[in-house]
Structures are given as structure tokens and as C-alpha cells.
Amino acid sequence: MKLEVRVPTLSDSVASGTLLPWRKQAGETVARDEALVDLETDKVILEIPAPASGILVEIRQPEGAVVKADEVVAVIETGEGAVTGVIPNEVKSSSAPAQTLASGSPRPSGARDDNVIQAKAELSPALVKPAVERVQLPTAASAVPVAAPGETRREPMSRLRSRVAERLVAAQHTAAMLTTFNEVNMQPVNELRQRFKAEFEVKHGIKLGYMSFFVRAVCAALEQFPIVNASIDGSDIVWHADADIGIAISSPRGLVVPILRRAQTLSSAGIELAIADFARRARDNKLTLEELSGGSFSITNGGVFGSLLSTPILNPPQSAILGMHTIQERPVAENGQVVIRPMMYLALTYDHRLIDGRDAVQFLVAVKAALEAPHALLEQA
């Protein structure tokens, strides 16, 4: 019996994807749920698995083809012939006869990527489950092709990079973006972390980091200034009851922003555990499209790369984004004295069509005030 291999159900925000090199070639035996090919979308890379064990008898869509949800990309032969390993005469493929790795060496028959997890799909299109995404990990520097001296190298942008570029340009053309700045004395947070870090880690099994303080400070400020958590849809203002906070994560393919749902209900431990889970599952290739969709506000931390100051760009349709930066010891004035304190610049970019300067500045001041008196941010730890 012949079974069609179809593109899995995609999210509402992802209409199509591009097929990457096939992992299996026509004529090869495949196992149920074995990844046949990767599908690169605007946000993530998905696996298309085999719906049953058998022989891959036809590849209908070659590497580089743009396909949509439920589109047939291959055919598998099951049954007695497939079980005994007999290759049907009608085996054919519209793809290139051999795929190669980045290094140019042929992919061995049946080779698999150790950084990939299995994704399952039912045969019926109505029952297709969302595939599991694979966020690519960095490759060794020696594996990255470089141009010879005096030459240049050209390669197409990935779908994710193209989509990010498109959204950033659209944000600049659509929103009236303005950035306001402030600085926060991180000494109180540092002292609180030092005081409770051992107890916190023993109790919750996770380190007490900076992000829980910032997320909870942002949630408290959004409660005071809900307009910062709102968005524009045509001529309407959409008010969001929940603080769904996007946490920007850099990956080799570009920026991904998983969403911390209903962050206002989470304790410090809950936030730290959730963010650590995002990072871990990104490394293990287990983030889903749903976790990268939506969000009412974003936080990006350029400080982990050493950025002292920047102006982050909005993530439409969100109306504001907070930029964190590196902590640097600087002289500041306190009570008429010059003292050295660990300082961080904060940047809030907002859509001035919706958010007035007063609300934006007061929101950022509220975040600063919460971080400089952080005991309340740790109460629900």
C-alpha cells in the first residue's frame, strides 16, 4: 500500500516552508516517525516524519521547494514488499540524486542528525499534529565556508533571516518608534541574589538570575500602565489582560522570541524555571511554533554580548520592548557623595501612535524603582 507523506499542520502565522536537503533518498527503507526531511519556516525548522515503516518510493518535492501545510512531498510503500526490503520498480525521485552535507561530503545512507528529535504525524490531514521544531545549533568555525583571499561569497538568506528583516523594516515603516532611556543601580538586586542564591537553588533547583527580577518588575509596571501592554489593530486599540512576555533568544539562524505566558502570575522561581526550560529545549530542539507566537511585550538583553546601550526595534504588533544592557561599574552621586555602583542602562522603545511619552517614561521609571527596591519582587519566590 502506498501512503502519502504530507507537510504537517503549521501555525496560523506560518503559511509555507522551504524543504531542506532530504535525509532519505528514493529506494531507501524508512521507519515510522523517522525524519525524512526538514522544513524551514519563517520561525523555526520542523521535521517531516515518515507516517509508517516502508520504502520511500517517490520524492515529489525536491530540496528548495516551497510547500504549504498538507501538501504531499513524498510517497512511502508499505506492506509485504516493504517489509522484506524489496524495492519496487516504480521508485523515482524528482530531487537531486545525492544530497551533500555543508562540508560537501555525501550524506551516508540512513545518516541522522544527532541534534534532532522525533516528530509524529497521523495519516489523516485532519489529525496531523504540529511537528516539533529544530533550532539549529552553532557549527564549528572550520565548517563555515569562507571566501578565498580577494574573493567574496554569496548565499541566500534563510527564511527566518528574511522574515526578521521584513518585520523589522515593516516596524520602522509602520510604527512611530521612539526610545526613552534610564539607568538602574543593580547593587540592591546583586545583594539580594547573593543573600538568597544558595537557599533559592536548593529549594527550587534553579539559580536565581536577573531575568526573574526584570520580568516581575515589568509585570508590575504593566499593571500600572496597561497602555504599554496594548496594541493597535487597524483603527482599534487591543487591550491585553495578561502580560505575555517575549524573551528574546539569539540562535545561529537568527532571533527567536518564546513567550512567557501570563507572566504576571508566575513567582520568581516559576520565571527562572520557565526561561531555563526555553533555553534547554531550544538546545534540545523542542520549542514549538505556538511558543514563538503571540506576546504583548518583549524583553531583549544585549548585555549578555557586552552591549552598553542600544535602541531595540519593536516586535509587531507589540507596542513596546525593553532593552537590558551590560552591568558596568560607574561613579554615581549618592547623598552628595561620589560612589561606585554596578549600573545598567535601560531602553524602552515604544509606538508613539499609541503610547504617550509620559506613560513610556513613567513606565520605565516604575521598572527602575522596582529593581532598586527588589525585595517585593522576590516575595513569591
CA distances to 64, 123, 159, 161 from 144, rounded to whole Å, are: 20, 38, 19, 17
Q: Which residue has the higher pLDDT, 368 or 160?
A: 368
Confidence grade of residue 91 (pLDDT, cut at 50, 70, 90): very low
Confidence grade of residue 82 (pLDDT, cut at 50, 70, 90): low
Amino acid identity for residue 138 in this structure: P
Confidence grade of residue 36 (pLDDT, cut at 50, 70, 90): very high
Say if residues 38 and 109 touch (Cβ distance below 8 Å): no
Q: Which residue has the higher pLDDT, 88 or 62?
A: 62
Rounded distance between C-alpha atoms, residue 260 and residue 100, angstroms: 38
pLDDT higher than threshold 70 for residue 136? no
Confidence grade of residue 252 (pLDDT, cut at 50, 70, 90): low
Q: Which residue has the higher pLDDT, 20 or 353?
A: 353
Q: Which residue has the higher pLDDT, 121 or 360?
A: 360
Rounded distance between C-alpha atoms, residue 365 and residue 353, angstroms: 21
Flag the least confident range among 85-94, 105-114, 194-203, 213-222: 105-114
CA distances to 35, 233, 340 from 331, rounded to whole Å, are: 56, 45, 4
CA trace torsion 13, 16, 18, 19 (10° rounding): 110
Confidence grade of residue 14 (pLDDT, cut at 50, 70, 90): confident
Q: Which residue has the higher pLDDT, 339 or 8?
A: 339
H/E stretch holding 379: none
Confidence grade of residue 80 (pLDDT, cut at 50, 70, 90): low
Q: What residues does each domain of the chain span?
A: 2-133, 162-378
Residue 170 pLDDT: 84
Say if residues 365 and 182 touch (Cβ distance below 8 Å): yes
Cα–chain center distance at 1? 39
Q: Which residue has the higher pLDDT, 119 or 73?
A: 73
Q: Which residue has the higher pLDDT, 250 or 39?
A: 39
Residue 199 pLDDT: 94
Task: Give the predicted TM-score (pTM) of the model.
Answer: 0.69
| Mean pLDDT of the 149-153 span | 86
Which active-site residues does the annotation give?
352, 356
* Same fold? 2-133, 162-378: no
Measuring CA to CA, which residue among 296, 290, 377, 308 is closest to residue 346?
308
The CATH fold assigned to 2-133 is OB fold (Dihydrolipoamide Acetyltransferase, E2P) (2.40.50)
Q: Check: CATH 3.40.640.10 for 162-378?
A: no
pLDDT higher than threshold 50 for residue 364? yes
